[in-house]
């Protein structure tokens, strides 16, 4: 009961109510965005955010030097906040103005993401031209996932979030992790524009994923491992968050000799042999159950599929 009283006390203040209403309407918002929308000083806004976080109303997501806030859906707050906000008249002038400012902030964010993507689009398409049509890779991944429900989905090194979009209509919830804030800005914008509210992205390192337990039914590492130093470490960490009965998919290149990818695109590894992940998968407690080759020129894409023994509680629930 104490927790609920603390939550209600925290919400019983106009600015804090405006903050949770904004989070409910706008997804993940950064401190600087609240400052702009609310027209209040940063220390004041930060104090309100701290109180709301301590009361369990908001979840705090640090991302480098930024911090994002969203409604905390791990406790009772989400339902209580929803009930409160839904009872505020739609024509309330303060809330209406906040929503207009939120829309302007989102538009700016989308424009910035667009600019980033335009600047990098050439690079992406240049790489894609070296291997087979991405549609074929997507079809292969979809085939390997099979007809089973995909449950909770984690896309490691999500980049611009394409893989979240690909599987969005088959998953209960999706999370994308990436270390690049610029890539995540593009992903956020796409997910928001497409209304994929069950998918989220956050900044994180694939060697220390921000999850405590084995909570994902499907984990994907798509075109990421050729950048990393410690492939076994990355696989072990992916396996750690995979639920019993869950599936890990890795898509990357077969061994190749396009040395220029190192210089121009920062690739560390020039592809992987079929057997290259065997030991790492076994050590991580996974069983390899399929390898597919999608032959391209000069780059062949390979998809490895592995399962964690056990039966997923979510799937049988």
Sequence-distant (6+) residues with CB within 8 A of 182 are 116
Residue 186, Cβ neighbours under 10 Å: how many? Answer: 22
- CA atoms of 76 and 57, how far apart (whole Å): 9
With 0-12 / 13-18 / 19 or more C-beta atoms within 10 angstroms meaning exposed / middle / buried, residue 42 is exposed
With contacts defined by CB under 6 A, name the span among 32-40, 75-83, 100-108, 152-160 that binds ligand SAM.
152-160
13 versus 230: smaller Cβ distance to ligand SAM: 230
With contacts defined by CB under 6 A, name the span among 94-102, 111-119, 174-182, 240-248 that binds ligand SAM.
174-182
- Identify the three-state secondary structure at position 70: strand
Among 18, 158, 186, 269, binds ligand SAM (CB under 6 A): 158
206 versus 235: smaller Cβ distance to ligand SAM: 206
Position closest to ligand SAM via CB: 159
For residue 73, give both structure tokens. Answer: 């859906």
- CA atoms of 206 and 204, how far apart (whole Å): 6
Among 28, 98, 162, 192, binds ligand SAM (CB under 6 A): 162
Sequence-distant (6+) residues with CB within 8 A of 172 are 149, 150, 151, 152, 153, 198, 314
118 versus 316: smaller Cβ distance to ligand SAM: 118
For 127, 202, 254, 265, the CA distances from 130, given in Å and listed in that order, are 5, 29, 12, 13
Give the angle 30-173-157 at the CA atoms, nearest 5°: 65
Sequence-distant (6+) residues with CB within 8 A of 163 are 141, 155, 176, 220, 222
Residue 190 touches ligand SAM, criterion: CB under 6 A: no
Among 159, 174, 245, 246, binds ligand SAM (CB under 6 A): 159
162 versus 192: smaller Cβ distance to ligand SAM: 162
98 versus 252: smaller Cβ distance to ligand SAM: 252
Binding footprint of ligand SAM, residue count (CB under 6 A): 18
156 versus 281: smaller Cβ distance to ligand SAM: 156
Residue 55 touches ligand SAM, criterion: CB under 6 A: no
Among 111, 114, 194, 205, binds ligand SAM (CB under 6 A): 205
Residue 203: phi and psi, rounded to 5, are: -75, 140
55 versus 186: smaller Cβ distance to ligand SAM: 186
Question: Rule CB under 6 A: which of 104-143 touch ligand SAM?
Answer: none
27 versus 159: smaller Cβ distance to ligand SAM: 159
With 0-12 / 13-18 / 19 or more C-beta atoms within 10 angstroms meaning exposed / middle / buried, residue 122 is exposed
With contacts defined by CB under 6 A, name the span among 58-66, 80-88, 102-110, 219-227 that binds ligand SAM.
219-227
Among 21, 152, 201, 206, binds ligand SAM (CB under 6 A): 206
Give the interface with ligand SAM as residue ranges (CB under 6 A): 157-160, 162-163, 177-180, 183, 205-206, 222-224, 227-228
């Amino acid at each position: 009961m104490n927790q609920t009283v603390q939550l209600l006390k925290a919400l019983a203040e106009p600015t804090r109510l405006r903050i949770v209403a904004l989070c409910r309407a706008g997804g993940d918002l950064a401190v600087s965005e609240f400052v702009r929308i609310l027209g209040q000083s940063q220390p004041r806004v930060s104090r309100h955010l701290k109180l709301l976080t301590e009361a369990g109303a908001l979840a705090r997501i640090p991302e480098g030097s930024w911090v994002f806030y969203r409604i905390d859906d791990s406790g009772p707050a989400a339902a209580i906040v929803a009930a409160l906000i839904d009872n505020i008249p739609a024509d309330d002038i303060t809330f209406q103005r906040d929503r207009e400012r939120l829309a302007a902030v989102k538009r700016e964010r989308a424009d910035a993401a667009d600019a980033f993507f335009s600047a990098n689009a050439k690079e992406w398409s240049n790489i894609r031209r070296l291997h087979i049509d991405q549609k074929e890779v997507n079809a292969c991944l979809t085939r390997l996932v099979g007809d089973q429900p995909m449950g909770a989905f984690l896309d490691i090194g999500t980049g611009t979030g394409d893989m979240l979009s690909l599987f969005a209509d088959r998953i209960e919830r999706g999370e994308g992790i990436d270390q690049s804030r610029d890539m995540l800005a593009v992903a956020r914008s796409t997910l928001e524009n497409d209304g994929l509210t069950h998918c989220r992205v956050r900044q994180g390192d694939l060697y220390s994923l921000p999850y405590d337990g084995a909570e994902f039914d499907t984990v994907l590492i798509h075109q990421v491992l050729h950048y990393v130093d410690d492939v076994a470490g990355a696989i072990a960490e992916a396996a750690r968050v995979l639920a019993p009965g869950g599936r890990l998919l890795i898509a990357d290149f077969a061994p190749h000799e396009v040395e220029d990818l190192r210089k121009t695109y920062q690739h560390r590894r020039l592809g992987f042999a079929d057997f290259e992940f065997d030991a790492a998968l076994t050590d991580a407690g996974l069983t390899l159950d399929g390898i597919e080759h999608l032959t391209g020129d000069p780059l062949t894409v390979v998809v490895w599929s592995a399962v964690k023994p056990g039966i997923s509680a979510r799937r049988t629930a």
